[in-house]
């Protein structure tokens, strides 16, 4: 047998998924996350998974990991001692930022903290203009003083970003070479290597983020690699935020590329499922212990954006411009809200019930887990309402303390004059409303009708809430995939090796010479093929995807469309323009075919294709069992409801709501008026009558 292993660290649980390449058989290990040392739960989960499935480490062909190290370092402001070198006169670039703000009329709001303190931001004399011509030569005699200042300040890393280095990188590379030669123990990140693109602040911010988180990521991956090597497992791969895995060397060259590592894996797995069951239009819904994420898959294609911010006061709403630190790397287009099983309910000074953004996390966790938590959470409300088993979860490994959950819920219910059950129901209504907004953002606000999509629900809590959200947005079907509680970990073993490259090429498409475009694309393709060769990807599994950021003249932002494969000719350039008009009309509701279209950036995705794999839910009639418990539904209050064990629901099984379907890693709720059917591969398909 040949196995693949994926590991995903969440705010509450760490999931390990083990998949047999040939049969698609899935094994899952789920442990509480260990915040003091994330690697502890990872290694223990791998050990348990190997033992449960009786896997010899030599049979493991792929080991992939989704990490939160980069995101946490930015959110908690616990990065490295990083410096920043700029063109003279632009020392405060990171602080000046853009003018965009979360609240346009709040003159006193604070922006995100600057990652690099001013005392560690240095200037050097040089200047290149907007045509890439040297205006002021690089003052090489200033480099020794710069080296001495970095050494004196004891910096771990330094980012270097000069004006217009994306057009002419000679000065930046000369400084980078000098710093690397003089300071071999200091990590040096050059903007011309990280992001050779137009937009000065975004390029500088992305470079600074890489410098800020680079040492933490390197130390974490080094420790984890040594731990898994001791188990006899292969080299570790890391999930990138654009939906593919990277080897460790590539991840350390571009740490910003692994910011949304875990959520990206879940969307990739959803796209794999869509292709497998013939449903190309999906809204992925991932609800874990801390946050809920939504993304759109249209026509089988995952939506990717290069406009992304992380960190800062608005980090829970990362689609809002001005809330954090911009990173210009391809990221799967996600809407994320602070709504997870651990989200804490509270009463504001005006007497209104609120849920989130704070979370109980893994330690102490919800009150129902009996680990010392006393504050009411969404999980506690789900236990009180009967959606979750009131005795145990994780197949019996996690005992539930129902009285503790009821006591916690009462702390917010009593000030409002509400009983425990009514308070719990209000909590669920509020968190569902918050999550429905995320679904609207990725569908309606992107120009898509939710009624043309199916909702694929995963994460430990996703299938609990999915039917209620689908009813809110009139989504006709909910799909519960195999191992939903560890679904993001499954995405880690179902994706390809991937690295994204970009380069600015500013020109009107109508007058752009095909030879100029072909030369620029060929240079990027050579870089991508070299990466795939270094990663040991066989030639027959290498693939290159070419994209272009284009816009109408005088627009400030672009849309990304594909460049047709094959030789670049006038016809292929015209096809890019036509694709842009179509996408502009879909996105904004209008297009102007008479307006000139401008090319801004070229993008290349280098893929190392892994063999395809079919994911299958293991079921057998002998595992069937059914219980009864009282479950709350708003139309009826508490009513008797059957609870089925998912492993015993064989192909062809049909259920009528109300019903509960339980598994080791997740629970699905089928409300009254819904039906569910189990297909040949064990997927649960839920529809409203």
Taking the C-alpha atoms of residue 319 and residue 221, their distance in angstroms, rounded to an integer, is 28
Taking the C-alpha atoms of residue 6 and residue 21, their distance in angstroms, rounded to an integer, is 13
Residue 586: what pLDDT? Answer: 86
Q: Tens digits of per-residue pLDDT, 278-290?
A: 999 999 999 988 7
Q: Where are the alpha helices (DSSP H) in 4-98?
A: 38-53, 69-76, 93-96
Task: Dihedral sign for Cα 345, 348, 352, 354, please.
Answer: negative
Q: Are 80 and 157 in contact (CB under 8 A)?
A: yes
* Pairing assessment for the beta strands 82-87 and 157-161 based on DSSP bridges: parallel
Indicate the range of 16-20, 26-30, 107-111, 682-686 predicted with least confidence. Answer: 107-111
- 641 compared with 334, residue with greater pLDDT: 641
Cis peptide before 450 (omega within 30 of 0): no
Mean pLDDT, range 563-581, rounded to an integer: 94
Q: Which two three-digit tokens encode residue 614?
A: 């079919």
3-state secondary structure of 221: helix
Mean pLDDT, range 350-358, rounded to an integer: 88
Domain 3-73+218-258 grouped into CATH 3.30.70.920 = no
Residue 323: what pLDDT? Answer: 59
Residue 11: what pLDDT? Answer: 67
Mean pLDDT, range 33-41, rounded to an integer: 81
Taking the C-alpha atoms of residue 376 and residue 408, their distance in angstroms, rounded to an integer, is 5
- Number of Cβ within 10 Å of residue 219's Cβ equals 12
Taking the C-alpha atoms of residue 181 and residue 517, their distance in angstroms, rounded to an integer, is 35
Q: Which two three-digit tokens encode residue 619?
A: 């079921």
Taking the C-alpha atoms of residue 408 and residue 378, their distance in angstroms, rounded to an integer, is 11
Query: Which of 55, 84, 479 has the alpha carbon at shortest distance from 279?
Result: 479
Report the chain's mean pLDDT, rounded to a whole number: 89
* Pairing assessment for the beta strands 559-562 and 292-298 based on DSSP bridges: unpaired
Can you give the residue ranges of every domain in the chain?
3-73+218-258, 77-216, 497-607, 621-688
Tell me: pLDDT of 477 over 50: yes
Query: Which of 544, 574, 576 has the alpha carbon at shortest distance from 561?
Result: 576
Q: Are 294 and 335 in contact (CB under 8 A)?
A: yes
Q: Tens digits of per-residue pLDDT, 214-234?
A: 999 998 889 889 888 988 998
Mean pLDDT, range 292-300, rounded to an integer: 91
Taking the C-alpha atoms of residue 17 and residue 96, their distance in angstroms, rounded to an integer, is 44
Tell me: pLDDT of 316 over 70: no
Taking the C-alpha atoms of residue 492 and residue 239, their distance in angstroms, rounded to an integer, is 7
Residue 318: what pLDDT? Answer: 43
Q: How many residues does the chain have?
A: 689
- 316 compared with 621, residue with greater pLDDT: 621
- Number of Cβ within 10 Å of residue 397's Cβ equals 11
Residue 319: what pLDDT? Answer: 41
Winning range, highest mean pLDDT, from 15-24, 297-306, 565-574: 565-574
Q: Tens digits of per-residue pLDDT, 591-617?
A: 999 999 999 999 999 998 887 777 777
Taking the C-alpha atoms of residue 277 and residue 271, their distance in angstroms, rounded to an integer, is 10
453: pLDDT confidence band, cut at 50, 70 and 90?
A: very high
- For 2, phi then psi, to 5°, come to -120, 125
Domain 77-216 grouped into CATH 1.10.150 = no
Tell me: pLDDT of 317 over 60: no
Sorted by sequence, the CB contacts under 8 Å of residue 123 that are 6+ apart come out as 85, 86, 87, 88, 89, 90, 91
Mean pLDDT, range 569-586, rounded to an integer: 94
Q: Tens digits of per-residue pLDDT, 360-395?
A: 876 788 999 988 889 999 999 999 999 998 887 876
Locus of tokens 């910096």: 155
Query: Which of 292, 294, 229, 245 has the alpha carbon at shortest distance from 267?
Result: 294
DSSP 8-state secondary structure symbol assigned to residue 45: H
Q: Which two three-digit tokens encode residue 613?
A: 């794999």
Mean pLDDT, range 151-169, rounded to an integer: 95
pTM for this prediction: 0.80
2: pLDDT confidence band, cut at 50, 70 and 90?
A: confident
Question: Which whole-number Å values give the CA distances from 262 to 2, 78, 399, 631, in the listed order?
Answer: 24, 20, 27, 32
Sorted by sequence, the CB contacts under 8 Å of residue 542 that are 6+ apart come out as 529, 532, 606, 607, 608, 609
- Number of Cβ within 10 Å of residue 144's Cβ equals 11
Residue 314: what pLDDT? Answer: 38
3-state secondary structure of 511: coil
Q: Tens digits of per-residue pLDDT, 496-555?
A: 888 889 999 989 999 999 999 999 999 999 999 998 988 888 899 999 999 999 999 889
């Amino acid at each position: 047998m040949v196995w693949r292993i994926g590991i995903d660290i969440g705010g509450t649980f760490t999931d390990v998924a083990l998949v047999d390449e040939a049969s698609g058989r899935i094994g899952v290990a789920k442990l509480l996350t260990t915040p003091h040392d994330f690697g502890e739960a990872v290694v223990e989960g791998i050990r348990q998974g190997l033992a449960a499935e009786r896997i010899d480490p030599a049979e493991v062909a792929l080991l992939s990991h989704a990490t939160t190290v980069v995101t946490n370092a930015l959110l908690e402001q616990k990065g490295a001692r990083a410096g920043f070198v700029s063109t003279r006169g632009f020392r405060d670039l990171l602080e000046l930022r853009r003018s965009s703000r979360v609240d346009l009329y709040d003159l006193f709001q604070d922006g995100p903290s600057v990652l690099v303190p001013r005392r560690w931001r240095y200037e050097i004399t040089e200047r290149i203009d907007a045509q890439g011509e040297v205006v002021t030569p690089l003052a090489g005699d200033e480099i020794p003083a710069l080296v001495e200042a970095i050494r004196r300040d004891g910096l771990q890393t330094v980012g270097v970003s000069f004006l217009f280095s994306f057009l002419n990188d000679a000065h930046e590379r000369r400084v980078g070479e000098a710093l690397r030669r003089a300071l071999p123990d200091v990590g040096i990140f050059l903007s011309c290597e990280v992001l050779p693109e137009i937009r000065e602040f975004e390029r500088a911010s992305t470079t600074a983020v890489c410098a800020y988180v680079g040492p933490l990521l390197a130390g974490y991956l080094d420790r984890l690699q040594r731990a898994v090597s001791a188990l006899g497992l292969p080299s570790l791969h890391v999930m990138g935020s654009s939906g593919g895995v990277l080897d460790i060397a590539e991840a350390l060259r571009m740490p910003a590329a692994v910011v949304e590592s875990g959520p990206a894996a879940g969307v990739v797995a959803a796209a794999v499922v869509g292709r497998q069951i013939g449903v190309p239009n999906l809204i992925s819904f991932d609800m874990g212990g801390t946050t809920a994420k939504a993304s759109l898959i249209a026509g089988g294609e995952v939506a990717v954006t290069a406009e992304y911010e992380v960190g800062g006061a608005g980090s829970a709403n990362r689609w809002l411009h001005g809330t954090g630190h911009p990173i210009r790397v391809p990221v799967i287009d996600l809407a994320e809200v602070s709504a997870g099983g651990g989200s804490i309910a509270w009463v504001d000074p005006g007497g209104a019930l609120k849920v989130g953004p704070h979370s109980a996390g893994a330690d102490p966790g919800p009150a129902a887990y009996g680990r010392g938590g006393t504050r009411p959470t969404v999980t506690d409300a789900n236990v009180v309402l009967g959606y979750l088993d009131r005795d145990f979860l994780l197949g019996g490994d996690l005992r539930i303390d129902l009285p503790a959950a009821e006591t916690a819920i009462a702390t917010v219910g009593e000030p409002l004059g509400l009983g425990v059950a009514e308070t719990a129901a209000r909590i669920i209504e509020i968190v569902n409303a918050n999550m429905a907004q995320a679904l609207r953002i990725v569908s309606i606000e992107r120009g898509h009708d939710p009624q043309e999509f199916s909702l694929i629900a995963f994460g430990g809590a996703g299938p609990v809430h999915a039917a209620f959200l689908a009813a809110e947005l009139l989504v006709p079907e909910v799909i519960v995939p195999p191992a939903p509680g560890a679904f993001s970990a499954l995405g880690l073993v179902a994706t390809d090796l991937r690295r994204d490259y970009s380069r600015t090429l500013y020109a009107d498409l109508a007058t752009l010479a095909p030879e100029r475009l072909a030369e620029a694309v060929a240079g990027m393709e050579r870089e991508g093929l070299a990466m795939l060769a270094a990663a040991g990807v066989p030639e027959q599994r290498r693939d290159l995807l070419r994209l272009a950021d284009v816009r109408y003249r005088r627009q400030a932002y672009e849309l990304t469309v594909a460049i047709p494969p094959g030789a670049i000719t006038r016809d292929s350039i015209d096809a890019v323009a036509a694709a842009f008009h179509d996408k502009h009309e879909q996105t904004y509701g209008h297009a102007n075919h008479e307006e000139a279209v401008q090319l801004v950036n070229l993008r290349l995705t280098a893929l190392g294709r892994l063999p395809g794999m079919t994911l299958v839910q293991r079921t057998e009639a002998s595992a069937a069992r059914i219980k009864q418990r009282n479950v709350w539904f708003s139309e009826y209050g508490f009513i008797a409801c059957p609870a089925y064990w998912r492993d015993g629901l064989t192909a062809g099984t049909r259920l009528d709501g109300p019903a509960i379907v339980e598994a080791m890693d997740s629970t699905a709720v089928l409300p009254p008026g819904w039906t569910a059917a189990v297909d040949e591969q064990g997927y649960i398909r839920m529809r409203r009558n």
